[in-house]
Every structure is written in structure tokens, then in C-alpha cells.
Structure 1
Amino acid sequence: MNRLARRCAGLLFTLLLAPLASQAAEPQATHEFSLDNGLKVVVREDHRAPVAVSQLWYKVGSSYETPGQTGLSHALEHMMFKGSAKLGPGEASIILRDLGAEENAFTSDDYTAYYQVLSRDRLAVAFELEADRLASLRLPPDEFAREIEVIKEERRLRTEDRPNSLAYERFKAMAYPASGYHTPTIGWMADLDRMKVEELRHWYESWYTPNNATLVVVGDVTVDEVKGLAQHYFGAIPRRDVPPAKQPLELAEPGERQITLYVRTQLPSLLYGFNVPSLATAKDPRDVHALRLISALLDGGYSARLPSRLERGEELVSGASASYDAFKRGDSLFLLSAVPNVQKGKTLEQVEAGLWRQLDDLKKNPPSAEEVQRVRAQVIAGLVYERDSITSQASTIGQLESVGLSWKLMDEELTALEAVTPADIQKAAQTYFTRTRLSVAHVLPEETAHE
């Protein structure tokens, strides 16, 4: 494609994106209020279909856990479906299924959330079921004895029997030397083996309280009807003091760390992680938004730098990626991964050198304004399309609130991304892509261990 064609294509993409960005720049009607017991409620109106999503987020996850007691947050998530004062094990799920609702739950480093997607006129059912288990969860020992075995099998299937997942778990434990993010969300197997139902009872009583939760409702609703339902079903649940929870701050420059792992894989691979701030911990938010654009600049589709330069250009890798989670409660990681092109005889050492050439290029030469605009357009388009879903809108609100930020940032981030300049990108690269912040994992096939 010649220069004129590239400019025309870029202009066309910008023109196509403009209506989307304009539409996203107009915030939807969103309301927040709190009940007397401390439960925060955020309501976002979206009247395109007679459907609503209800999500209850608790500010607790694996980063809150201590050595020897890992996996508690995830195990409690499982047990939340095992009965309450009103219902027996699994009965709440049967009720929702008969209503045609979708329900599930998830646990992360920073939060645990439960959700239902259902007809707007059945929202009261979701509230009643969620309030019931918040107020009166049963933890039957026989149910726990069965469920902990399910959790251990889940760990085997999702981590221990999946070489890449196992390698990343070990890598993450090294990459976060000072914060609770080194703990796997599902927990270490030794801790699952010795977990007691009494520990889950204590965890539930410590963290599952209205003043440590956020109720998010998005869909064909009004704030007045949600307020009435929230007060009716949640208002009488008493608040309790919660333990102090400090941000998972990391050593700014822990020093270069490296690990070699042998797993059941056919191809070697490389993991790079730089210790960087998140939006919740950064002194300057521009650094965070610059890192978001760097991730897309390196790995944002066919024309991004890693695939165009290292994969198709130098034929150095058969695949490479970049990622960065800006929305964590504590400090984050900027991740790079790559698989050498073994058909061309390329090695991990050559791949490392290739990655550093790309990082050094960013540090020495700011990207062109044209490249930044193209990458920014891709990122914004992805955000706009993603938030066409009411579930995605609710999840963004819940995540922001649970990590100590405000839901209002979701209506402000397009402006923040638009403000990032090529100089901001160069500055972020110079600041954070250093060996003193770097963790490296060489992931090798098991059969090479003896070499």
C-alpha cells in the first residue's frame, strides 16, 4: 500500500469512528446512591431492550489472602450456591433457570462478583436471592467436602494440566515479589488440601457485608424502581466492620529476575513482565493511558509492530503479544510473550534481542502522530463496541468501583486516551521498560531438561 492509499485508509477509518466516539462521549443516564447499611448502588439506564443485568461485587479476592490460606475467595464463591436460610443447595439456580435467566460468578485478584441477566420485570427475584445469601449463607460441611474436590479438579484441569497456564502461574509468583498478586486466584494445591469449612465461614463473616459491596444494575430500569427494590431486599441487612485492606503495592525496581521452566509443550516460549503502576496507583494517569496505547501499538492487529516487524519482517517469531491491565487495585504488569520461529532456527535469546530492539526504538524515537492516531482509533473502537453490551457496561462499573476508582472514569477515558501524545508514549517507555523492573521466564519442552 502506497503512502497516499495509507492516508486515505486512515482518514476513512477516522471518519467511520467519529460517530462512535461522539456517541460514546454522551454519557448514559447513570445514578449512584448508598443505603444506610453502606451498600453502594450504581444504576445505568439502557432502554433498548426489556432486559436488565444485576451484579453484586464484593471487595475481596486472592490479593487479600495470606500465605497458607490461599484460594479462600474462590472457594467461597463456589459455596455461595450451596444454600441459604430460605433455599437449599442449588435451588436459587433452578429458580433463575426456570425464569430464563443467565447467572454466574467469578473471582479475581481484587474482587468476587455474582450476576444475573434476566427480564426487567424479574429483577426483584435476583435481588431477593442475592440478599438472602448475603444475609444468611449456609456452609454445610458435607457440601464443602464435595465442592473442595471439585475445586481441586478445576485447578488440575485449568492450571496443572495446561502447560502455558502453569508456566504463567509460576512466572506471576516471581513477577510480584512484594504484593498479594503473586497468589493464584484458585489457590495453591497444598492450601486447598488443608482448607477447612470454618475458614470459609470466617472469610464470609469478614468480607461479605453490605458496606463492602457494590450493587450494579444496567438495563431497562429507572433509578427509583431500583432504589425501592434495593431498600426492600438489602436495607435490613446489618453492616459490619471489615478488616483493613491495603493496596497491593509492588517494589518499583525489584531488579531483573529470571526463571527457566520445563513443561509439557512442543515449542519454547518467552514471557516478559515489567512492574508498572495501574490507574489506581499511578502518580500521573497519562502514564497509564500511554501504556495502554503502547500495548495496542505493539500488538493491535495485523499492522502492529510485533507482527509486522518481528513475525513477518524478520521472521524471528511465530507469534508475539503484548498486554496490560490498567484497572487493578494495586500495581500491575506490562506483559510481552513470544514463540521463536523454530522453523527458521531462531532461539529465545534472539527473540529477547528482538523485543528489546522494539522497546528501545520506542524509548529513542516517539511514534509518529499518524501511528498514534491509528492505534488510538483501534482502542476506542474496541471500547465503544464492547460497551454496546449491558453486561460489559455493568462489569466495567463494578470493576472500577471494586478497585477503588469511580464508575465515572468509564465516561471519561475516551477523552483521556485522546490526550496521549507521542511524547507521552516515549516517556512511558523510557520510565518503565528497564531491566530493573523486568521478570523473564524461559518456558522449554520437558525433553530438553537434561540438556
Structure 2
Amino acid sequence: MNTPRSAMLLFGCLLLPILAIADSTPPTHEFTLNNGLKVVVREDHRAPVVTSQLWFKVGSSDEPPGQSGLSHALEHMLYKGSSKTCAGEASAILDKLGATHNAFTDRDVTTYYQTLQPHQLGVAFELMADMMSTATLRAEDFIPELAVIQQERRLRTDDDPDAIAHERLKRIAHPASSYGAPVIGWMHDLQRLKADDLRHWYQTRYAPGNATLVIVGDVTLDKVKPLAERYFGVLPAKSFAVVTQPLELAEPGERKITLHQAIPAPRLILSFNVPSLASAEDRRSVHALRLLNTLLAGSTSARLPKRLQFTDRLFSAIASDYNAVYRGDSLFTLTAQLNLHRPETLDQAQARIWALLDELKTTPPEATELERARTQLIARQVYDRDAIETQADNLGALESIGLSWRQMEQDTQELSRVTPADIQNAAITYLTRQRLSIAHVHVEKSHE
């Protein structure tokens, strides 16, 4: 079917100003200290604040069997004292300055960040340089902190039916890679972690050459570089364990798990094994998957919500998720909750989703539909620039998976090249039963 010229002109007019904004790269600089620490500085002078993020290339995917949760536990312990601070003192200093600060651990990274006034940046640098090189990691501090982490797992995972379902599904969705273990760790592994395990992890992973320092905000290279040299440049270079890329079987075969949980309505999760930006042989296919994700369920007007939630009312909620920024392979996931007022089973609901996916395999989307998805995706990236923390997140994530931060500046143009045929090919190649993991989550009898 040919797209009306007026519609093409309309979407072109909508997209052009967004493309212009997305292509305007803020001044961004990079340099590497003699000890191997890479520093990326992005200037954003719209507000008198700066965010400092220290990214280590170590996460849950690097942990050996039996020690899941090690990276996250070490993140907690880094605030328990170093050569210059007592337990909790670094946080207290940043709180007194009015800074926003925290840390997080993911599959590939552990990150520490602070957002504060530009003239306070040296304080953040001094605290982080000390913590990354002289953390005490005492056993007497680890025992109570481990209890805190175990309680965090109970609250965020064990007591959350959604979290349990996704955790169990990820385990079967990654039969060949280390991405199957939860970031927070399995409870039985947390119960046997020792302070010595953390010390070894710290000594072999927390090295300047295994980290990236990202600074975004009201600063200049001339202001940041001397501070980085002063506080981080004095740290000695040291060897560190080289990470491997978690790769998955191309076609592991269809896998299924059935759960019964305390939920209000049955839920269906479909996950497909797909590549990421770092693992794909052809990144164009990854950008096609990103746009396919938006096209399927990126908004209330997308295909799945429009037809199965708001028109047919088969589902009360439906969403899709695809994160392309991983060191290894990723998952393309569809999640849906059945409408209690409809009699369909999970098998029938799954068949309805498959029918819509098969439509894309036989008929590519119309140009107007693709342009709408493309505009939505690029617009979100433009809005992300309003937050210096989000800018730093994107820069640091790319650097930490082995790509350059410059990939972010090429992103808009690469998305603009994706065609309807690319979307169709992505659906044919990746949305197959040989790549599929399924979770059927039923309502427990006591909750019906």
C-alpha cells in the first residue's frame, strides 16, 4: 500500500526539527590518565550543577558460580570506610554539601555517582578516588551489611510476584551465558558470601584501567582535567581481570516455565534471545529491533496495546522491553496481563500475540507507522538531554560495554536509516519459537 504524500510530508516535518536537535552534539572531551582511567567530560551549562559518575566494568555477569551478588555486595561495602573516611562518613560529607549521591550494580557495571555544585567537584573526586583504592572491607562491617542485602532481596524480589516471574524467566532465557543469575544474587549464595570474597573481587576488578569517569554539567575540560589528575592520577596502575562477553546460543529452542503467584490476574511473558549493540554483527538489525519494540508496545497507540488492550480488551496491560546496551546478548520481552472479564486462557492470549507478530513477518509496517515509532524513540532521546544524570548514564554505559560514547552521537542517523523491510527482517529473524522463553503466571487458588 502506498503512503499518501501528505502523510509523509507531515511526519517529515515532525521529524526534521527533532533530528536537528538530536544531531547537535554538546562539547564533549575525553582523555586517559597514565594509570589507565578514561575520563569523558561533557559540557552542559544550562544549570549550575555537575554530575560525576565512576563506572567500573564489573557486574553480576562476571561472577563465578556460587558467588552471585558479589558485585552488588561490594558496592554496599565501599561506603563502610577507607583510609580517609569512617563508615558512612563519605555519604555524610556529600549530604552536608547538599549533593545527590548513590550507586547501582547491573549485569556489566558497578557505578557510583554524585550530583553537586561545580565548585564541589574536587570533594567528590577525592572521596571516590579514596574509596576505589583504599576501602577497608572489614568482616565486622560485612556481617550486618549482608543482612541488609538479604532483606533487600526479600523486599524487591521474593515478595514481588512480578520480580520473581522475570527472575525465573531470565534464568531459562540465558542457558549459555552468565546473564541468567540475578544482579542481587540468589539467597543461598548471599548466605555464604565472605568478606574475603569481596576483598579478592575488589583487588582484581577495581583498577583505574577497568573504569571510566564521566562528568556532565556546568564545567569545562580545563577545570576537570587538573582535578582528575590531582585525585585520580596519583592512583597506581594495576592489573585487573579481563571481562568476557556473555554470548547466548543463537537458537536455544523454545523454553517454558509455569508459576502460580499471588497476583490479581494471569500474566504472560515472552522473551526472545537477540543481540545487543556490542554483540551484533550488524548494528542495523539492533536499531530495527529498537524501533520494533516501540512499534509493538512503545505507546498506547502502538500495535499490541491498540488492538489487544483497547480494542479487543484481551489484556488489561501490555508492554515491551528491549535494552540494546549490554556487553553481551540481550532479550526482547513482551509482558501482558489478562483482562479478568475475558474468558481467554494464557495459551489463547499467547496465540493472539503470535498472530500479530506473524503479521509483521508477512507484511512490513507502512512507512507512516515506522516514522511514528522513529519520532517517538528519537524524541525520548532528545528529552533525555534535559537531565545531566541521564546524559552521563548513556555515555558511561556505552563506554563500559566496549563501545565509544560517540555511538550516542551517531544513533539518530542510524535510526533514520532503518526501513520497513528492516523491521520485517528483524521480526522474521528474531521473533521465532527457537529463540523464545515463555512464562505463564497463574493466580494462586487462594487469590482467585
Q: TM-score range by the shorter chain?
A: over 0.9
Query: What are the within-5 Å matches in structure 2 for residues 98-247 of structure 1?
Result: 98-247=96-245
Q: Which residue matches 1:269?
A: 267
* SS of residue paired to 1:270: strand
Query: What are the within-5 Å matches in structure 2 for residues 298-377 of structure 1?
Result: 298-377=296-375
Farther-moved stretch of structure 1 (168-177 vs 340-349): 340-349
Distance, in Å, in 1 between the alignment partners of 2:342 and 2:143 is 52
Distance, in Å, in 1 between the alignment partners of 2:284 and 2:107 is 24
Distance, in Å, in 1 between the alignment partners of 2:60 and 2:439 is 23
Alpha-carbon offset, residue 46 of structure 1: 0.7
Distance, in Å, in 1 between the alignment partners of 2:303 and 2:55 is 37
Question: Which whole-Å deviations, capped at 9, do the CAs of 1:180-200 have from their partners, x for residues lacking one?
Answer: 100100000001111101100
Question: Which whole-Å deviations, capped at 9, do the CAs of 1:202-257 have from their partners, x for residues lacking one?
Answer: 00001001000000001111112211111100111112211232100000000000
Distance, in Å, in 2 between the alignment partners of 1:7 and 1:167 is 46
Q: Which residue matches 1:409?
A: 407
Are the equivalent residues in 1 in contact too, given 2:297–2:320 (CA < 8 A)? yes
Q: Which residue matches 1:21?
A: 19
Q: Which residue matches 1:292?
A: 290
Which ranges in structure 1 are unaligned for 5 or more consecutive residues?
A: none
Q: Which residue matches 1:86?
A: 84
Are the equivalent residues in 2 in contact too, given 1:14–1:377 (CA < 8 A)? no
Alpha-carbon offset, residue 376 of structure 1: 0.4
Distance, in Å, in 1 between the alignment partners of 2:344 and 2:355 is 16
Farther-moved stretch of structure 1 (135-144 vs 83-92): 135-144
Distance, in Å, in 2 between the alignment partners of 1:448 and 1:429 is 39
Are the equivalent residues in 1 in contact too, given 2:11–2:371 (CA < 8 A)? no
Q: Which structure 1 residue ranges, 4+ long, deviate > 4 Å from structure 2? A: 10-14
Q: Which residue matches 2:29?
A: 31
Distance, in Å, in 2 between the alignment partners of 1:354 and 1:294 is 18
Alpha-carbon offset, residue 341 of structure 1: 2.0
Alpha-carbon offset, residue 446 of structure 1: 2.2
TM-score, normalised via structure 1 length: 0.96
Distance, in Å, in 2 between the alignment partners of 1:384 and 1:196 is 44
Q: Percent identity?
A: 56
Alpha-carbon offset, residue 170 of structure 1: 0.6
Q: Which residue matches 2:45?
A: 47
TM-score, normalised via structure 2 length: 0.97
Alpha-carbon offset, residue 21 of structure 1: 2.3
Question: Which whole-Å deviations, capped at 9, do the CAs of 1:130-188 have from their partners, x for residues lacking one?
Answer: 00111110112221111000000000000000011011101100100011100100000
Matched, 1:249 2:242: no
**Residue 367 of structure 1 aligns to which amino acid in structure 2?**
P
Distance, in Å, in 1 between the alignment partners of 2:265 and 2:166 is 15
Alpha-carbon offset, residue 338 of structure 1: 1.1
**Residue 97 of structure 1 aligns to which amino acid in structure 2?**
D
Question: Which whole-Å deviations, capped at 9, do the CAs of 1:315-365 have from their partners, x for residues lacking one?
Answer: 222221111011100000000111122202121111111110111001000
Distance, in Å, in 1 between the alignment partners of 2:19 and 2:151 is 45
Q: Which residue matches 1:446?
A: 444
Distance, in Å, in 2 between the alignment partners of 1:217 and 1:159 is 33
Are the equivalent residues in 1 in contact too, given 2:78–2:135 (CA < 8 A)? yes
Identify the match of residue 54 of structure 2 among 44, 53, 56. 56
Alpha-carbon offset, residue 11 of structure 1: 5.8
How large is the Cα RMSD of the aligned pairs?
1.7
Farther-moved stretch of structure 1 (269-278 vs 259-268): 259-268
* SS of residue paired to 1:342: coil
**Residue 95 of structure 2 aligns to which amino acid in structure 1?**
R
Q: Which residue matches 2:73?
A: 75
Alpha-carbon offset, residue 16 of structure 1: 4.8
Farther-moved stretch of structure 1 (317-326 vs 200-209): 317-326
Are the equivalent residues in 2 in contact too, given 1:270–1:440 (CA < 8 A)? yes
Distance, in Å, in 1 between the alignment partners of 2:17 and 2:264 is 46
Distance, in Å, in 2 between the alignment partners of 1:16 and 1:130 is 44
Indicate how the Cα distance of structure 1 residues 252 and 361 shifts in structure 2: closer, same or farther if over 3 A, else same.
Answer: same
Which ranges in structure 2 are unaligned for 5 or more consecutive residues?
A: none
Distance, in Å, in 2 between the alignment partners of 1:87 and 1:313 is 59
* SS of residue paired to 1:378: helix
Aligned residues: 446
Are the equivalent residues in 2 in contact too, given 1:28–1:45 (CA < 8 A)? yes
Matched, 1:430 2:428: yes
Alpha-carbon offset, residue 13 of structure 1: 6.4
